[in-house]
């Protein structure tokens, strides 16, 4: 069973991405969350407010994923860094 999502700031979210490279940043209807697996965007492990989410999505370590299966939802994942 999944634990309820908790609130996270941008700094903690980046740490989470670095420790969980399969995670994704999701946005739908101005609601932002981090999912532990970018292939399953319905699961929310961390909630992120809009200001921190804007910082995250503009971070060079993240990249947007075009054309995901959920209409109206956006997804960013950790880039493969050399």
Count of domains observed in the chain = 1
Residue 9 included in any domain: yes
Query: Rg for the chain (alpha carbons), in Å?
Result: 11
* Predicted local distance difference test score (pLDDT) of residue 37: 94
Q: Does some domain include residue 29?
A: yes
Q: For residue range 17-75, what is the model confidence (pLDDT) as tens digits?
A: 999 999 999 999 999 999 999 999 999 999 999 999 999 999 999 999 998 888 889 99
Is residue 17 a part of any domain in this protein? yes
- Listed residue (53, 75, 56) closest to 65, CA to CA: 75
Alpha carbon distance 67, 6 (integer Å): 27
12: in domain: yes
Residue 24 structural domain: 1-46
Res 71: pLDDT: 84
Read off the pTM.
0.87
């Amino acid at each position: 069973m999944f634990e309820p999502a908790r609130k996270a700031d941008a700094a903690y979210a980046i740490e989470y991405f670095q420790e969980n490279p399969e995670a994704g940043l999701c946005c739908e209807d101005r609601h932002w969350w981090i999912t532990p697996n970018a292939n399953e965007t319905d699961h929310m492990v961390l909630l992120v407010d809009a200001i921190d989410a804007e910082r995250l999505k503009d971070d060079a370590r993240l990249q947007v994923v075009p054309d995901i299966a959920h209409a109206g939802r956006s997804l960013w994942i950790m880039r493969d860094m050399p």
